[in-house]
Amino acid sequence: MSKRLVQVALPSPLYRLFDYFWPSAQPIVRGARVLVPFGQRRLVGIVLQELTESDVPYARLRNVAKVLDSVPVLPEEILSALCWASRYYHHPLGDVLSSALPTLLRKGRPALLQEREQWRLLPEVAIAASEHDQHRATVRGPVQTALLARLANANGETVDASELAAISTRWRASIKPLLDRQLVSCEHSLALPSNVASDTGPQLLEEQQQAVDAIVASLRSFQPHLLHGVTGSGKTEVYLRCIEAARQQGMQVLVLVPEISLTPQLMQRFTQRLNGCLVSLHSGLNDSERLQNWLLAANGYADIVIGTRSAVLVPMPRLGLVLIDEEHDGSLKQQDGFRYHARDFALLRARNRQCPVVLGSATPSFESLHNVTRKRYQYLPLNRRAGEAMPPELALLDIRRRPLTEGISDRLMDAIRTHLDNDGQVLVFINRRGFAPTLLCNDCGAAADCRRCDAHMTVHARSNRLRCHHCGAERPLPVTCEQCSSENLDRIGHGTERIAAALTAEFPDIAIARIDRDSTRRKGALEKQLALAVSGEARLLVGTQMLAKGHHFPKLTLVGILDADRGLFGTDFRSLEHMGQLTIQVAGRAGREQRRGTVLIQTRNPDNPMLQTLVEEGYDAFARIALADRQLAELPPFAYVALVRAEASDAESSITFLRQVAELLQQPDTETLHVLGPAPAPMERVAGRYRAQLLLQADKRSTLNNSLSWLTVNIGDLSGVRRTRWSIDVDPVDLY
Ligand code: ADP
Ligand code: ZN
Ligand code: ZN
């Protein structure tokens, strides 16, 4: 008799699938989980299909140990998209599927929604209880008495199990006999979160209305839209109307936002304005909350799912609209393991589902602008700020040969004073946390370096420590040079801590809020600092890019940007794009209500044409010029690139291995694939590992794709593979 065979995807770095015998009489369900033996371990895998035969000798095939689901946890819609992504990103399918599951499902937990448990005193008993006699003899002990009293108190209504649990930790043992004697009943039901809007929102401006109309008109068809709205133009308002329209048509809506924890204001606005079952998916949830919300989405109960990057991988059977806020944001790209881009994955799903995608940003990615030019995306501009707000005024401040106080020029300091004197609020932006990026010895010239990275340690003055911002290593802040013991140490450069200290010295009576990853580490600290900023209680704000994201500070009148030059000379081809986006995003925090905002940008390169274009003509003109340069250099979005990265415990191994990879890639399709490198990574050593990379560039997607397919099939045979850890990054967002 022939046994049935099944093909399973398992979380493993191997580019292959695994065959097992199917011992059960149950049907074989594609997308369901199974527990299988794998070496000495057991792994949770996903069933792909029934097989008629296997290449593996039958004697070596093993049995599926347990079938975990009778219906797919990954239904066809999401499963086929994930299969596509595995081929596109050249990442093993088993690992891709596993990363789409919440942790508890990955561990084999049943895919069951938590239900609400409610208890009720049965009516006959209630009458008897009021007469206070008959069942007296059957009730034993104080816990049972208290439980019955609580249930009787509810007058025939149900009481939540959590309330009974509050009476005694032994409540279950006590209530069991009552249930057995049919004095009480227990009901299980699904507790669907249900949000009711408390607010209706303003009348839309004409441009907003046009955008909403265009998006709503495209429901039920695949149509990407680029909602390009200057900061404060009311993009969120557009999202809210479209979400409501789609929900009313019975569709599920997926909303991707950069980092929910950083923008509590945004979440609050969604709950104030939306109706229906609203769930969130982000890193702030514990495993069971995450599982519950995932299942609410996957079973079609959730109307609106708001989440960060990985929410794009959640099954949604009624999906009818996808919104991506801040579509230019780097956090949409996963930077390790399965390195997908949530925007691109969302577009794929929308195409499969035939539904629209809205990409919203004040500073769209160059990819998206290019797709508008190619007429792939519909362009929806919002050029006016909502309400009475005017666009902020940007100006460059030449700081060459100017006196600087801790990196702040005299002219910026004067402007800060004037704004504070006129009851304004000021934000000083510097994209570096800590006190100073370098501790330098004046006698021997040595800098305090990280012992595991090619990087200086950052001075953190408040905590009296040196920290490496690349590997997290830290040690006490030395008082003498670690090389020559000299006491003549200098703290070079500036971080948020130092700027905040300098401003406190200059304006001792003004409250300061510092917002960066250090000052907001404790739970609730960010909310507290943001509240000070929003209320205007803190009139001086100092922060990193955490301050750039979507916040609305109604009283802010001046923004000072201290180190715009850094982005001009980045090593990465996207540095300039990121500098432009960050500058405009930070600038956009200013003047969002009645008073017009001013933005002063300190630079030692006031003649730089890109900086001038950005300041004088704005982001669109800046992007056009930068895109033309990309085209000349044959860089994305005009070419397709991938990085092969390798790391090893010595510098030699990763380079040697990548040389073998480069050789391997000479074989197929060579004339159109450009292989650059191998070269050490811009920061070669991080956390004690030496990193190198190989850049692949092609003018056709298919060339790149075919080369990578060839590579993944053959890479395991290279002799260098055992000494290195390697990965493939398709469409990398940065080259580190
Ligand atoms: P964005 O997301 O584009 O930065 P928001 O949606 O946060 O802009 O809107 C900026 C501010 O303008 C918010 O306070 C919002 O309530 C307000 N706003 C948006 N649309 C309108 C409108 N049509 N009329 C009046 N105020 C509006
Ligand atoms: Zn020294
Ligand atoms: Zn380090």
Predicted confidence (pLDDT) per residue in 324-376, tens digit: 999 999 999 999 999 999 999 999 999 999 999 999 999 999 999 999 999 99
Identify the helix (H) or strand (E) that includes residue 353. Answer: helix 342-353
Kindly indicate the confidence band of residue 613, based on its pLDDT and cuts at 50, 70 and 90: very high
Position 131 pLDDT exceeds 60: no
**Residue owning the nearest CA to atom 4 of ligand 1:** 232
**Residue owning the nearest CA to atom 25 of ligand 1:** 387
**Residue owning the nearest CA to atom 6 of ligand 1:** 234
Beta-carbon count within 10 A of 436 CB: 22
189: helix, strand or coil: strand
Kindly indicate the confidence band of residue 420, based on its pLDDT and cuts at 50, 70 and 90: very high
Query: How many angstroms does the Cα of residue 593 sit away from the middle of ligand 1?
Result: 10
pLDDT score at 527 = 87
Cβ burial of 203 (10 Å; 0-12, 13-18, 19+) is exposed
Give residue 579's Cα distance to chain centre: 20
Asked if 730 and 708 touch (Cβ cutoff 8 Å), the reply is yes
Strands 540-543 and 512-515: parallel
Summarised one tens digit per residue, pLDDT across range 224-279 is: 999 999 888 899 999 999 999 999 999 999 999 987 666 677 888 899 999 999 99
**DSSP single-letter state for residue 691:** E
695: helix, strand or coil: strand
Kindly indicate the confidence band of residue 668, based on its pLDDT and cuts at 50, 70 and 90: low
**Residue owning the nearest CA to atom 20 of ligand 1:** 234
Ligand 1 proximity of 236 Cβ (cutoff 6 Å): yes
Angle, helices 496-506/410-421, rounded to nearest 10 degrees: 60
Shortest-distance ligand to the CA of residue 482: 2
How long a stretch of residues is the chain? 736
**Residue owning the nearest CA to atom 12 of ligand 1:** 386
Query: How many angstroms does the Cα of residue 576 sit away from the middle of ligand 1?
Result: 29
Ligand 1 proximity of 591 Cβ (cutoff 6 Å): no
pLDDT score at 301 = 96
Identify the helix (H) or strand (E) that includes residue 598. Answer: strand 598-603
The partner residues of 122 in beta bridges, in order of sequence, read none
Position 594 pLDDT exceeds 80: no
Query: Which residue's entry shows tokens 């508890």?
Result: 104
Ligand 1 proximity of 252 Cβ (cutoff 6 Å): no
Ligand 1 proximity of 204 Cβ (cutoff 6 Å): yes
pLDDT score at 669 = 57
Beta-carbon count within 10 A of 202 CB: 11
Ligand 1 proximity of 265 Cβ (cutoff 6 Å): no
**Among 155-159, 406-410, 533-537, the least confident range:** 155-159
Ligand 1 proximity of 497 Cβ (cutoff 6 Å): no
pLDDT score at 135 = 53
What average pLDDT does this structure show over 411-418? 96
**Among 113-127, 227-241, 443-457, the least confident range:** 113-127
Q: What order do you get walking across the sheet with 378-382 strand by strand? A: 278-281, 304-307, 252-256, 319-325, 357-361, 224-229, 378-382
Kindly indicate the confidence band of residue 153, based on its pLDDT and cuts at 50, 70 and 90: confident
Peptide bond between residue 637 and the one before it cis (omega within 30 degrees of 0): yes
Ligand 1 proximity of 231 Cβ (cutoff 6 Å): yes
pLDDT score at 191 = 80
27: helix, strand or coil: coil
Position 387 pLDDT exceeds 80: no
Position 559 pLDDT exceeds 60: yes
Strands 278-281 and 252-256: unpaired
Spatial CA neighbour of 671 closest among 711, 703, 715? 703
Ligand 1 proximity of 329 Cβ (cutoff 6 Å): no
Query: How many angstroms does the Cα of residue 535 sit away from the middle of ligand 1?
Result: 18
Summarised one tens digit per residue, pLDDT across range 54-71 is: 999 989 999 999 999 999
Query: How many angstroms does the Cα of residue 491 sit away from the middle of ligand 2?
Result: 13
Ligand 1 proximity of 361 Cβ (cutoff 6 Å): no
Kindly indicate the confidence band of residue 125, based on its pLDDT and cuts at 50, 70 and 90: low
Position 671 pLDDT exceeds 70: no
Q: Which atom of ligand 1 is nearest to the CA of 233?
A: 3
**Among 122-131, 212-221, 713-722, the least confident range:** 122-131
Q: Which atom of ligand 1 is nearest to the CA of 237?
A: 6
Q: Radius of gyration of the chain from Cα atoms?
A: 30
What average pLDDT does this structure show over 178-184? 86
Q: Find the DSSP H helices in 422-524.
A: 496-506
Among 230, 237, 242, 328, residue to substitute to test ligand 1 (most atoms within 8 Å of Cβ): 237
What average pLDDT does this structure show over 311-318? 97
**DSSP single-letter state for residue 323:** E
Ligand 1 proximity of 207 Cβ (cutoff 6 Å): no
Whole-Å CA distances, 374 to 212, 363, 370, 626, 638: 22, 18, 6, 17, 11
| Average pLDDT of the chain to the nearest whole number | 91
Kindly indicate the confidence band of residue 139, based on its pLDDT and cuts at 50, 70 and 90: low
pLDDT score at 658 = 96
Query: How many angstroms does the Cα of residue 548 sit away from the middle of ligand 1?
Result: 17
Give the whole-angstrom CA distance, residue 166 versus residue 171: 9
Cβ burial of 398 (10 Å; 0-12, 13-18, 19+) is middle
Position 423 pLDDT exceeds 80: yes
What average pLDDT does this structure show over 9-29? 92
